[in-house]
Amino acid sequence: WWWHYSVENTPNFDRLEIMRTSWASRSSAGNLILGKESFEVGGPRTTVCCNVKNAALDEKLLTVVDTPGWYYNYPVEKTPEMDKLEIRRSVHLCAPGPNAILLTIPIAISYDRTVHTAVEEHMSLLGEKVWNHTIVLFTWGDCLGDTTIEERIEKEDKHLELLTEKCGNRYHVFNCKNHTDRTQVTELLEKIEEIMMENNNSHYTLTEETWKKHEDELIERMLEVAVVIISLKGSYHANSSFPFSLECYKLFVNR
Ligand SMILES: Nc1nc2c(ncn2[C@@H]2O[C@H](COP(=O)(O)OP(=O)(O)OP(=O)(O)O)[C@@H](O)[C@H]2O)c(=O)[nH]1
Ligand SMILES: [Mg+2]
């Protein structure tokens, strides 16, 4: 979520971004917050590109960016390059930047060291400062039963504790299946107001250093694609341009 306070006489704009593994309820959480079916829910891997949706809530315009996820315990180098680009691009889809970032963690599945490392690696695509703006949003709250979220955090062999500490102990629980309980959304919005105050109402942006790294990686990848085009040119008939682009696409997406 990204929230920023606008110029006089215009409505306030709140901006939010949702990240995390595939099937971690990112789209469901976005729909619950906006109070309507804005994002497609289903799966697996329903969301492959960033999506931006708006809704007016409490006299504010709220913008939510839904991002593609990653396979839950895969290291970042196994995530397709296209998904990494989309994750980085998400920051620019709600200019000047998100007021808060929601990291969805489904409590229905265990959160061990490999999952934690994957979360850290993928979040670092947005730079180290991203944690100052992040709230852990535990989803599948209906699976908690009689257990409290604090008990659940303690149970998970310190890794959930490490994660919440990284986010300044900011967390919230959602049952995305319960669309009638709006208090879960209201309470989340209050926590977002708090994080904004903690950050002096500043939004999250990529640092110049992260931008430069991003740009360098893009140039490197484009050069690799160019090399493949040149090397493939000899192997196909001059008029058959389709195989070249197909091979390049595969190289770009699957690396
Ligand atoms: N019981 C329960 N099911 C949920 C909850 N949140 C999401 N689901 C279900 O989990 C599945 C995945 O939810 P999505 O919102 O599509 O997850 P996503 O992270 O956007 O997944 P992709 O975009 O496909 O990577 C759907 O079948 C949802 O109905 C929840 O809080 N409780
Ligand atoms: Mg989705």
Q: Encode burial over 181-218: b for 16+ CB neighbours within 10 A, e otherwise.
A: eeebbeebbebbeebbeebeeebbbbeeebeeebeeee
Is residue 101 within a helix (H) or strand (E), and if so which, with residue range? strand 100-106
Residue 26 has pLDDT above 60, yes or no: yes
Q: Round the average pLDDT of the chain to a whole number and report it.
A: 80
Cα 104 to ligand 2 centroid, rounded to whole Å: 11
Tell me which of 3.40.50.2300, 3.60.15.10, 3.40.50.300, 2.60.40.10 is the CATH number of domain 2-198.
Answer: 3.40.50.300
Q: Where are the domains of the chain?
A: 2-198, 208-254
Residue for token digits 């990653």?
Answer: 70
Structural contact between residues 74 and 119, judged by C-beta atoms closer than 8 angstroms: no
Cα 47 to ligand 2 centroid, rounded to whole Å: 4
CA 197 from centre of chain:
22
Round to the nearest angstrom and report the end-to-end CA distance of the chain.
Answer: 29
**Arithmetic mean of pLDDT, 228-232:** 67
Q: What is the DSSP-derived secondary structure letter of residue 131?
A: G
Residue whose Cα lies nearest atom 9 of ligand 1: it is 25
* Ligand minimally distant from the alpha carbon of residue 22: 1
What pLDDT does 247 receive?
A: 52
Under the banding of pLDDT at 50, 70 and 90, the label for residue 202 is confident
Residues with CB under 6 A from ligand 1: 22-28, 41-47, 69, 139-142, 174-177
Using the atom order of ligand 1, give the atom closest to the CA of residue 104. Answer: 19
* Ligand minimally distant from the alpha carbon of residue 26: 1
